[in-house]
Amino acid sequence: MRVLIVDDHKAHAEGLAELLSIRGCTAWHVPDAETALADLELVGVEAILSDVHLPGMDGYELCERIRAMQKFDCVAFIYHTASDEICGRRHGGDAFLTYPVGIDHLMSVISGCIARRVPEKRLEAVGLFVDVA
């Protein structure tokens, strides 16, 4: 799994990336939403873990922008934040986690969110081939 972490707290983001890497993910972090959007255009990503409170554009707007681009429909977006005031699903996210979160639970949520997005794309691809025949 390729996971992009968007968090302006460098120590937290580095630790999370390291834990995910130990679990077999390719994980890296960026400090803000603008950099995340640039990375998303250049690198294949299966999941994004984003803080809500970011400098400049917040996590909600980042998610809205990503959801507005059809080419990123299969990218899971997971809010990972200390704030538990608002449910991320109301803002286009696939999950909303407040930390601290155990790595086993985090891996389960990431895998589940990716699985919910990817099968839809596989079914669409199969439908295209069925229609051709």
- What CATH number has the domain spanning 2-132? 3.40.50.2300
Element (H, E) at 80: strand 76-81
Q: What is the pTM of this model?
A: 0.84
Q: What is the dihedral of CA 117, 122, 124, 127, to 10 degrees?
A: -160
Q: Give the residue extent of every domain in the chain.
A: 2-132
Write out the two tokens for 5.
């972490």
User: Per-residue pLDDT for the chain (133 aa), expressed as one digit of tens each?
Assistant: 999 999 999 999 999 999 999 999 999 999 999 999 999 989 889 999 999 999 999 999 999 999 999 999 999 999 988 876 665 456 789 998 988 889 999 999 999 999 988 865 444 444 444 444 3
